[in-house]
Structure 1
Amino acid sequence: MKVQRSDGAQSATTGRQLLIAEAALAGAVALALFVHELPSIRRELRIYRLAGGFRAGRRYP
């Protein structure tokens, strides 16, 4: 459904199209941030496993 302006011209994008575009942009930014931080996450997980992981809770208060 296109919204009609008062001067008779039709809007180029609808509200739904705008929401879809914003959601796609937000998803792309989130994915780029995750991919950028992936090496750091892997390094932290490796350190966590070397320290004993979940089972080490009673050794390191």
Structure 2
Amino acid sequence: MKVQRADGAQGATTGRQLLMAEAALAGAVALALLVREWPSLRREFRIYRLVGGWRAGRRYP
């Protein structure tokens, strides 16, 4: 037996639910991209530290 809402909506998605679903999807995509690119980011950070990081600005104009 189906229960009807008082406002007449029968399973309609509210704006808040849609926004939360979109936020969850965007977060999942961002997390997947971070996991995929993690080895490259580690390599780039290692190279950055090797050349001096923030302190290298005085040596390399």
Query: TM-score band, normalised by the shorter chain?
Result: 0.7 to 0.9
TM-score normalised by length of structure 1: 0.78
SS at 1:12's partner residue? coil
- Runs (5+) with no aligned partner, structure 1: none
Aligned residue pairs: how many?
A: 56
Listed as ranges, the matches of 1:38-53 within 5 Å are 38-53=38-53
TM-score of the superposed pair, with normalisation by structure 2: 0.78
CA drift at 1:33: 0.5
| Greater RCO structure (CA 8 Å; 6+ sep) | 1
Question: Any gaps of 5 or more consecutive residues in structure 2?
Answer: 1-6
Stretches of 4+ aligned residues off by more than 4 angstroms: none
- The whole-number CA distance in structure 2 between the counterparts of 1:10 and 1:16 is 16
Q: Find the counterpart in structure 2 of residue 26 from structure 1.
A: 26
Quote the sequence identity (%): 80
